[in-house]
Amino acid sequence: MQNHTPLREQLSEHLRQNGLKNTRQRQVILDAFLSSERHMAIEELLAAVQNRMSGVGHATIYRTMKLFTEAGIAHERRFGDGQTRYEPVFEGEHHDHLICEKCGLIVEFEDQLIEDRQEVIAASKGFRLTSHQHDIFGHCLDTAACAARKRKRR
Amino acid sequence: MQNHTPLREQLSEHLRQNGLKNTRQRQVILDAFLSSERHMAIEELLAAVQNRMSGVGHATIYRTMKLFTEAGIAHERRFGDGQTRYEPVFEGEHHDHLICEKCGLIVEFEDQLIEDRQEVIAASKGFRLTSHQHDIFGHCLDTAACAARKRKRR
DNA sequence: TTACTTGCAAACCTTTTGCATATTT
DNA sequence: AAATATGCAAAAGGTTTGCAAGTAA
């Protein structure tokens, strides 16, 4: 489990520095976002937020997640299924993703070999690397668990 | 320069096997697609096609590019800018992309080290790999050329 | 009190679909 | 002649925006 205090402070700092306000909605969305499992899609987040505070509009969620992204506490992820997902940014942490095309399971991976290699490639092609997205698609080897997840999703 | 004959034959074969028709529109779209530079966005493709045959609707482009993808002669690519791009699939070839966030330049790369590493990672996480998308974002080191491209794009 | 936020609805953009008409085989 | 394809316009799905009303500082 991660410590969320730095992220909360980072957001407060961002609000302060930009003359933005710490509204009740932003608090509730932050709580839902941080206590969520990772890779939450907008729809899931909206549902979680409305659980705690009904009446929050989807425009607010969109706007707030953009704000969190600008504040550096959230990363936007798109895995090609038309859903935008967000995950908390923990300092010094970077990972990429494996996605099961059958059940939608998302698993994280980190690989220093690939990270380093990318720098070499970027330089050799005349680029300065700023970021990357590396998604590996496949199928779960554990087909029973995969099928169960798939059933649960509908 | 690549030889397009195999791709043309592969499409003909796909049409034949599925009882689909070789229409004038499909020929024109295929020509535009193959003679294009790679990574053509739908909009660009539509413009190129309408140059040769006006009146072609966008629905036809969308439907046809899906058809080409099913026939295995096109790959769909999304780099997160809201545009869907297509590129020809040449046999035995695989590559990923570097994208300049300033000018939009897309450069291809191939790296066997990374390819192999992905297999290891997938297996270690309980996945069987089927495909991947690996995009490296950055900035051109050649800032003059980059600025020129950026200007040209608007 | 002033400036920023929210919620609603409408607008947007890209992609898909229904349907009558046209084209290929 | 039968079946597939096209073009149009409408629909769909996700995201953004204008604006009047609400809220934080």
Length of chain A counted residue by residue: 154
The whole-number pLDDT of residue A137 equals 95
H or E stretch at A52: helix A42-52
Higher pLDDT, B2 or A108: A108
The whole-angstrom separation of Cα B110 and Cα B107 is: 10
Closest nucleotide to residue B55 (Cα to C1')? D7
**Averaged over B82-92, what is the pLDDT?**
92
Tokens of B80: 């997160």
Q: Which amino acid is at B20?
A: L
Of A129, A136, A139, the CB nearest to B118: A136
Does residue B154 have a pLDDT over 70?
A: no
Q: What pLDDT does residue A154 have? A: 58
Chain A window 56-75: residues with CB closer than 7 Å to nucleic chain D are: 58-59, 62-63, 66
Which tokens hold the place of A128?
């300065």
Mean per-residue pLDDT, B13-18: 98
Residue B151 pLDDT > 90, yes or no? Answer: no
Total CB pairs under 8 A between chain A and B: 104
The pLDDT value recorded for residue B46 is 96
Domains along chain B? 5-88 (1.10.10.10), 96-153 (3.30.1490.190)
pTM (two decimals): 0.90
Task: Write down the pLDDT at residue A69.
Answer: 97
Contacts of A127 in chain B (CB under 8 A): 98, 100, 107, 136, 138-141
Which candidate from B80, B122, B139 shows the least CB-CB separation from A138? B122
A119 close to B (CB below 8 A): no
- At a CB cut-off of 8 Å and minimum separation 6, what does A73 contact? A7, A10, A11, A14, A88, A89
pLDDT digits (tens, 9 = 90+) for B95-150: 999 999 999 999 999 999 999 999 999 999 999 999 999 999 999 999 999 999 98
Residue A88 sits at the vertex; the CA angle it makes with A84 and A89, to the nearest 5 degrees, is: 115
* Cα distance between residue B121 and residue B119, in whole Å: 5
From the CA of B12, how many Å to the nearest CA of chain A? Answer: 29
Nearest nucleotide by C1' from B54 CA?
A: D7
Spanning CA of A107 to C1' of C12, the rounded length in angstroms is 34
Instruction: State the greatest distance between any 2 C-alpha atoms of chain B, in Å, as a whole number.
Output: 52
**Nucleic strand C under 7 Å from the C-beta of A63:** yes
Q: Is the pLDDT of residue B21 over 70?
A: yes
For residue B14, the model assigns a pLDDT of: 98
* pLDDT in the model for residue B88: 96
Contact at 8 Å (CB) between B79 and B41? no
The protein residue nearest C23 (Cα–C1') is B23
Q: How far apart are CA B31 and CA B34, in angstroms?
A: 5
Per-residue pLDDT of chain A (154 residues; tens, 9 = 90+): 688 999 999 999 999 999 999 999 999 999 999 998 789 999 999 999 999 999 999 999 999 999 999 999 999 999 988 899 999 999 888 999 999 998 999 999 999 999 999 999 999 999 999 999 999 999 999 999 999 998 877 5
Averaged pLDDT score across all residues of chain B: 94
